[in-house]
Structure 1
Amino acid sequence: MRPPSVNVGLEPKFRLEPKEQPMQVDIRDKVIVVTGAGRGLGRSLALGLAAEGARVAVVARDEQKAVSTVEEIVAQVPGAPKPLAVVADVSDEAQVQAAAEAVDTHWGRVDGLINNAGWMPPANSMSVLGFELAELRRVIDSNLVSCFLTTKHFAPVMIRGGGGRIVYVSSIAAEHGGAGRSGYGATKAAVNNYSNVVHKELANQGIRTIALAPGLTDTPGMREAAGEEHIARVSALYPDGRVGQPEDIVPFAAFLCSDAANHLSGTVLTIRPFTG
């Protein structure tokens, strides 16, 4: 039987016309709030977003660390819009409300919110049978309650300005919880769910949400919680022989806060090498 002939002269059913302008990840002059920005991933996010021209509100519980991040941005990113240091414990509603009012007063709008603040308990400190209730409450407040509160108080400012982007920093632990850290993975799974709920409730008011789930990332908090040996063991599993660095996450955060990501909402974006 002869194969069917193909008429290469036929016009294609669909034709992709080139856009007038190439896609750009542009966050210049966008007001972006980064929580937990006093060190680690939050500090790198604040620096990286400022380098792309964003107006960054540096939120941290420790005033000295918030100011230090602001000073580092000013020193390392000449010409960047001057960032704003905001001191707040994002698990405390009164402080979150005050933080939202401070940013609103300073810039008059909020275009992006990155919920990065969180806490990972030390290795093997939260076993299923051996956890302390106070520690469980701390991880829930730090990782989950903070997201509820910042969304409650920053989203109205965003909606008033026509909408914006909310990024919830999650973790691959949401799907692959680690033994001895029962509370951490559970809170990150809840963060993923909450991001989807916010999308369903607020999308019609211009709010786009995403849960950003990195793999193991080499931060001071991770080293304190996991230890050098664990980081080395996981590094050996990855094709390039290293775990993620905070700087690896910054381009994804910039994209998610830009207009280029307007059609992406209510889902989880995982960032880690494939290990087979």
Structure 2
Amino acid sequence: MAFEHHRVVITAAGRDFGRTLALRFAAQGAEVHLSARTPEAAARVREEILAQGHDADRVHAYACDLTDPASVRGFAAAVAARAGHVDVLVNNGSRYQHGTDLLSASDEDVVETLASGATGTVLATKAFLPLLLKSGMPDIVTMVSGCGEPGNQRSDAHDSFYAAKSAQAGFTATLSRRLRDQGVRVISLYPPDFDNHDPLSQAWEGAPRTAKDPLTAQSLVDCVFFAVGQPRDCFIKAFHFEQV
């Protein structure tokens, strides 16, 4: 499915999987509104997309600190000034905190991990919901994590990251039920750690994938595109993945 008629907002698109999603949505023709914590990081990805020949009027970059409510509101207001509606919101932003020892992270690390992943997801969704409700095909996609699944203890992530992802999982599950009558699909992905090689790079093209290989960014992008591309009576609530 092509996405020429979609306006897509992606948080934390300055690097890693957020950047990959921005590149792929733009490659499929979508109008992309991408954010990063610094304007420089967002601008770099925008320039990367423009270098591939995309229309400058369909690629927009913003600074947004998901731990700052005023910054989130400002991001949404800036998008609203350019676009009358938003079709897809991708909640990708969430700080990762490593460490199996609760005492290994500072209080500041704990607060920022929870604020970016949990509070930031709620604030971004709240800020963009009015624009989503103006769309005829609104979707909210949240990159949760296997750490948000009950009983998952396979990651070396810090307890605060588990807490943030569990909060995201609870929020999106409730939101899916409450927004369905308004036609908004809420889609959550629960991947384990995955290979984040750039799926647009020449080295990636044609690379074989087997059951023994780790999950790839390409596979996750395919899941997002599949869910968003379904007819509007098809509500795919979540993608869960077996770990190698």
Which TM-score tier does this pair reach, normalised by the shorter chain?
A: 0.7 to 0.9
* 8 A contact 1:139–1:184 mirrored in 2: yes
Classify the secondary structure of the residue corresponding to 2:231.
helix
The structure with the larger Rg is: 1
Q: Is the 8 A contact 1:50 1:80 kept in 2?
A: no
CA distance in 2, matches of 1:213, 1:33: 20
1:199 aligns with one of 147, 164, 176: 176
Which of the residues 34, 46, 49 maps onto 1:58? 34
Alignment of 1:1-276 (within 5 A): 25-78=1-54, 82-124=58-100, 127-128=101-102, 130-162=104-136, 164-175=138-149, 176-177=152-153, 178=155, 181-219=158-196, 241-260=212-231, 262-265=233-236, 267-271=237-241, 275=244
Between the aligned partners of 1:171 and 1:81, the Cα distance in structure 2 is: 33
What CA deviation, in whole Å up to 9, does each residue of 1:207-258 have, x standing for no partner? 11011112212349xxxxxxxxxxxxxxxxx955543332332122222333
Separation (CA, whole Å) in 2 of partners of 1:261 and 1:77: 31
Structure 1 residues without counterparts, runs of 5 or longer: 1-24, 221-237
Q: CA–CA distance in 2 between the matches of 1:161 and 1:121?
A: 35
Q: Distance in 2 between matches of 1:239 and 1:26?
A: 27
- 2: CA distance between counterparts of 1:180 and 1:196? 22
- Rounded Cα–Cα distance in structure 1 between residues aligned with 2:196 and 2:104: 26
Gaps of 5+ in 2: 198-208
Q: TM-score, normalised by structure 2?
A: 0.84
Give the SS at the match of 1:29: coil
CA distance in 1, matches of 2:97, 2:81: 35
- Runs of 4 or more, structure 1, over 6 Å off, are none
The alpha-carbon deviation at position 199 of structure 1 amounts to: 1.4
> How many residues were matched structurally?
230
Identity %: 27
**How many angstroms does 1:119 deviate by?**
1.1
